[in-house]
Chains A and B, each alone.
Chain A
Amino acid sequence: MTNYRDEPPIPLEPFPVHRAESPFPPLGESVAAEPLPEPELAAEPGSESDPPSDWIEKADAHDLAVRHDAGRENALVALGRFAFPPGPPPDDEGLAARDRRWTSRMIMVAAAFLLVFNAVSPLNWARQQPPGWVPETVRQLSEVWVARLSVFAVDQPRQGLREMWDAAREARFIGQGEPDASTPAAES
């Protein structure tokens, strides 16, 4: 509760409602127009400057360090780019569709993962439902699915986790006994 209506509001927006601006500049502007100037080393006052060197005349050209030109492109990549030129950058709608596809893929992958490693869940659900066409169909399909998958031991991770949890649940403090049969705990 607050005293004043205009007090700083409680944070209301866990999600951005508006699409945030991309932190990257448009593609055409991303290449710097001019190379950055080389920093000049300032001579310290009082120190003598080096005499002119003739090292370049004695050096073998093949020993010189090779400078990779950032602007040059691998020929194969250039050929690929020529053969399959990239399309224009996606617009807002394109970006939104791309994010939706990404989300849908993520959900489908998670669902498929659970369908394999948590196959017993639909079976448990079907067994808890009142009799009917849908629960019975799900039960029969699930039984076959679980039996087929158990050959590959994909039910073992879930089983192992469950056993570990049950062991933790059964653990007691030193000197502590099980709940007496007359206590509500034992009855519940």
Chain B
Amino acid sequence: MLFPTLAFGVFFLIVYFTSWSLDRENGRRKLFLLLASWFFYAQWDWRFVGLLIASAILNWGVAALIARDRERRAGAKGGGWLVALGVAINLLILGFFKYYGFFVEQAGELLTQFGWERDLPLLQIVLPVGISFFTFQGISYVVDVHRGKTPPAKSLLDVMLLLSFFPHLVAGPIVRAADLLPQFERTPRLTRVMATHGVLLIVWGLFKKTVIASELSVNLVDPVFFDPTAFGAVDIAAATYGYAVQIYCDFSAYSDMAIGLAALLGYSFPRNFDQPYRAASMQAFWRRWHISLSSWLRDYLYVPLGGGRRGLISSCINVFITMVLGGLWHGAALTFLAWGALHGGVQVIERLGRAAFKRRDGAEAGPSRWGTLVGVLVTFHIVCLGWILFRAESFELAMQMVEGLGRIGPVVMLTPLLLALIAGGLAMHWLPPRAVEGMAERLKTAPSLTLGLLIGAAILLVEAVRPEGVAPFIYFQF
């Protein structure tokens, strides 16, 4: 059940009205939301609801044991082995479903090279949708309880809802326990500004996903990436820029809709995107792109590795490892590994460059206006190069895309409409940074009838121009 479908619309209306009718009894409301979330997840594959439940019980149990261990030690930190156990089991589940096939295949090739060819047990494993997201949430919960950043949940119900809550379940944002558990503990409130903001985010997300991302995907990106040798430089460049816009509009649309849906149910989710293509460096890009993942990687991987505490070289190594593992998180393929290495490598160069050009007094010279512009352009094009690796089915196809950028040929795929969509997708990065919030502030005083008609008209516009059917969100596969 995808967000931009009629079935989901009906499902959400039922959930919205039923959950608010239960608002006097928070426990029942949460139970209803949990059952609704399981129903939502079961639309993909009901068998994996069991995995979701097992994951919640595991993380709740480990966190409870950590808290009990701490009580026994009278507040002193301990129970490191419990955290290690919890994280290891989470990673084992993730690794089995996501990386088993990849590692068996690689091991088989390696053994063949040494002349020890063996029939390794290959299994056809179905990847549960959203497993990376709820596993990461589980890990963050256990680690945060251990670090004392969040108290253990008061009930198993809260942990189950934390991992299963349907707006973020299949493609994030990765909501931390410290953000969501306190909200579950009290009866939520819905204010006008929250509701207006939520509805605007949903409509904006619908537009980005079903109009911009779908149109670019079907009519430009997919055909060109399928066979780059059939196209000239203009089409290949357009497909590359088009994919940059498509993946932004696709993923940020999901995040926007998730935040909007949660807001209508009275819960606040973290922001996940902040106009990433206006970043003037790769470091700034990762502060604006998939913020919940980059901050997760920072807190649970980069910092435990040592972060920047042991000097420049150590920080460079740590950031490179973090980005490579971040690439591997996206999928078990060498292209993702190379994508992570590219991002990590550029960040290392940036760090070394900043250290080399640092003034003697230790202050960093701020870039000029032109310097910022050049930084934005360079960063954007490096990101686009990374997107070629990210999107291509194999290294060969990625190389064909890069080679094609120098091939003169007729313009076949790019049309004025597609060019306008690419330009529009990039131009939205230069809107005022909090445009939707500002609009929500203005519209919150409007009568419900006016706002309802406006929202209805906006959805009608989207419905009228969208292609038939909806492709799944790109990040569902991760």
Contacts and interface: CB of A to CB of B under 8 A. Distances in A.
A184 B452 contact: no
A54 B130 CA distance: 89
Interface string B1-35: 00001110000010011001001000000000000
Interface in A114-132: 114, 117-118, 121-122, 124-125, 128
B302 interface: yes
A133 interface: no
Interface string A1-18: 111110000111111110
Interface in B218-236: 218-219, 222-224, 226-227, 230-231
B453 interface: yes
A113 B453 contact: yes
Given A1-B294, A185-B223, A14 B452 contact: no
A100 B456 contact: no
B259 interface: yes
B263 interface: yes
Interface string B273-299: 010000000010011000100110111
A180 B308 CA distance: 55
A177 B410 CA distance: 9
A102 B447 CA distance: 8
Nearest to A18: B189
A162 B468 CA distance: 12
B319 A1 contact: yes
B270 interface: yes
A183 B412 contact: yes
Interface stretch (A38-46, A76-84, A104-112): A104-112
A58 to B, nearest CB: 51
Given A14-B437, A171-B415, A161 B464 contact: yes
B347 interface: yes
B195 A161 contact: no
A67 interface: no
A11 B274 contact: yes
Contacts of A183: 223, 230-231, 412
Interface in B254-272: 259, 263-264, 268-271
A113 B193 contact: no
Contact of B417 (A96, A124, A168): A168
Interface in B196-228: 197-199, 218-219, 222-224, 226-227
B76 to A, nearest CB: 21
Interface residues of B, number: 80
B223 A1 contact: no
Nearest to A185: B223
A148 interface: no
Contacts of A109: 448-449, 451-453, 456
B42 interface: no
B465 interface: yes
DSSP class of B's interface residues: helix, strand, loop or mixed? helix
Contact of A99 (B190, B230, B307, B453): B190
A103 to B, nearest CB: 4
A17 B268 contact: yes
A161 B70 CA distance: 63
B449 A107 contact: no
A15 B196 CA distance: 11
Contact of B459 (A108, A110, A185): A110
B268 A15 contact: yes
A47 interface: no
B259 A14 contact: yes
Nearest to A115: B456
A188 interface: yes
Nearest to A167: B417
B190 A96 contact: yes
Contacts of B193: 15-16
Interface string A86-104: 0000000000100110111
A179 B17 CA distance: 49
Contacts of B195: 99, 102-103, 106
A99 B223 CA distance: 48
B469 interface: yes
A14 B441 CA distance: 12
Given A99-B190, A162-B464, A180-B412, A110 B452 contact: yes
A125 B464 contact: no
Given A16-B191, A99-B195, 5 more contacts: A15-B198, A118-B463, A125-B5, A173-B414, A176-B411
11 contacts: A1-B319, A10-B295, A13-B270, A102-B448, A106-B199, A109-B456, A113-B456, A121-B463, A158-B463, A168-B416, A176-B411
* Those 7 A-B pairs whose CB atoms lie nearest each other, nearest first: A109-B452, A113-B456, A3-B308, A161-B464, A105-B448, A103-B195, A110-B456
Interface of A: 1-5, 10-17, 19, 96, 99-100, 102-114, 117-118, 121-122, 124-125, 128, 157-158, 161-162, 165, 168-169, 171-173, 176-177, 179-180, 183-185, 187-188
